[in-house]
Structure 1
Amino acid sequence: MLENKNPKRRGITLNEPKDARRLIRRVVDRAFAEGQELEYSGRIAQLLGIWAKLWEIDKLSDIEARIVALEQAQDRER
């Protein structure tokens, strides 16, 4: 009989930038839904700054992939 040796964990797993962006979006959405955006405006601003950096990381990896594809296409043409 096979058993799952990994215990169940509670919480959130952050493996990729998109996971962190999803968490930030959830926190900011909750602050606005509860009408506490002014009380937490400093925290929200900090979270949005982090969200922007994570977005840049994703876009940078997209750009790197495009550059590699262009370089490979140029090598094939030669």
Structure 2
Amino acid sequence: PVIDADVIAHQLVEPGQPALEQIITTFGMELRQRDGTLDRDKLRQLVFNNPTQRQRLEAILHPLVIKKLWAEAHSSLFPIAY
């Protein structure tokens, strides 16, 4: 199976996921849209030319993405038969 880090990163910032809450706490409520989703355009504007802000975002997302990547890789290496 293919494990896509970009897909995982998108999943981690869906409403109700801890990464979204950490991003909102770190960068502000204006990044939450009315429907509860992340305003990716505003986040992009915030971090695009600001290495400090980008590092703050990466410090939130990268550990969570890596953890999920390892979990998915491990589960695909050791399938469980029912």
Q: TM-score, with normalisation over the residues of structure 1?
A: 0.40
- Please tell me whether Structure 1 or Structure 2 has the larger radius of gyration of its CA atoms: 1
Q: TM-score, with normalisation over the residues of structure 2?
A: 0.39
